[in-house]
């Protein structure tokens, strides 16, 4: 599943390419998108803006409608010039939005809905979102409070709960906990409030570092995500996808285990992120 920084960059690229342009064509394989347009067609409307909320991408139209998409695991938006060859198979197309100069195509997007702009904050998928790490008005204190409400679950799983704070996926989960020096299998109730705040600060710093404005052209994704600050493509992460490799800080082999109800992969350094001695905590070994 794309992380919050990927959606943020995609929204920024779409906004730059489409904002202020008039819709000249709209096609979708989803009847739920095409049927409502019989009464209020998008053609002729202006695209006001495109932005992101957590992992949701929102495209706002002048007629008071918002197109909300969620990429899940394999979805993506591409930008093309009219007539330019697509980089993905036509069978992967889910939405085509045309303007006279730019064509936006959504491939393999599983979630796409029209929402009324006036009530979008009350739309079920959005009203439950926690503070967005990449929002201009991100409230770190509120994020810490929401995380602490999840005292009975392990901190790594709590970070993936978009109702606690929005934008973290599996990569930033492991990387933020490494930077903060917290074992991922520690239950939230066992993590001091100042340490939860440190985790949130680490996550915000890492995500914001990866949405720096160095994109160009019509790409919706530019550059390699990195958390270490290193330019070497082979040294982008501290722990993620590095199971069995030496820790970049201490040389201890990085551990990997499946965690949580969805068996998501978690990576950590047993020395830099030691387990608590509490008997209530169970930390699996590397698999």
Q: Which residues are catalytic?
A: 2-3, 55
Long-range contacts of 204-211 (CB under 8 A, 24+ apart): 204/133, 204/138, 204/140, 205/179, 206/172, 206/175, 206/176, 206/179, 207/3, 207/4, 207/5, 207/133, 207/134, 207/167, 207/168, 207/172, 208/133, 208/134, 210/5, 211/5, 211/8, 211/9, 211/12, 211/134
Contact between residue 271 and residue 176 where contact means Cβ atoms under 8 Å apart:
no
Note whether 165 and 131 are within 8 A (CB).
yes
Which residue has tokens 């020096």?
Answer: 181
Mapped onto helix, strand or coil, the DSSP state of residue 262 is coil
Contacts of 234 (CB under 8 A, 6+ apart): none
Local structure of 80: helix, strand or coil: strand
Cα(79)–Cα(69) distance, rounded to whole angstroms? 16
| Helix residue ranges, H only, 99-237 | 124-127, 140-148, 155-160, 170-180, 193-209
Q: 175 and 238 in contact (C-beta within 8 Å)?
A: yes
């Amino acid at each position: 599943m794309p992380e919050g920084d990927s959606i943020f960059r995609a929204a920024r690229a779409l906004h730059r390419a489409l904002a202020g342009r008039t819709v000249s064509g709209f096609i979708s394989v989803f009847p739920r998108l095409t049927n409502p347009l019989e009464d209020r067609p998008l053609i002729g409307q202006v695209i006001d803006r495109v932005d992101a909320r957590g992992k949701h991408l929102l495209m706002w139209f002048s007629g008071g409608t918002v197109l909300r998409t969620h990429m899940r695991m394999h979805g993506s938006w591409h930008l093309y010039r009219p007539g330019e060859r697509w980089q993905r198979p036509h069978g992967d197309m889910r939405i085509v939005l045309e303007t006279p100069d730019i064509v936006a195509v959504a491939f393999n997007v599983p979630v796409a809905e029209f929402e009324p702009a006036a009530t979008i904050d009350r739309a079920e998928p959005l009203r439950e979102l926690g503070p967005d790490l990449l929002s201009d008005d991100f409230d770190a204190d509120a994020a810490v409070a929401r995380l602490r409400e999840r005292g009975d679950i392990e901190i790594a799983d709590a970070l993936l709960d978009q109702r606690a704070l929005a934008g973290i996926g599996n990569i930033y989960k492991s990387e933020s906990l490494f930077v903060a020096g917290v074992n991922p299998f520690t239950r939230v109730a066992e993590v001091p409030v100042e340490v939860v705040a440190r985790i949130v600060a680490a996550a915000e710093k890492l995500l914001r570092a990866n949405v720096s404005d160095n994109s160009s052209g019509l790409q919706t994704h530019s550059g390699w995500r990195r958390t270490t600050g290193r330019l070497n493509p082979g040294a982008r992460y501290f722990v993620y996808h590095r199971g069995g490799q030496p820790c970049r800080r201490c040389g201890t082999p990085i551990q990997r285990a499946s965690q949580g109800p969805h068996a998501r992969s978690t990576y950590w350094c047993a020395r830099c992120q030691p387990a608590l001695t509490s008997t209530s905590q169970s930390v699996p070994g590397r698999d």
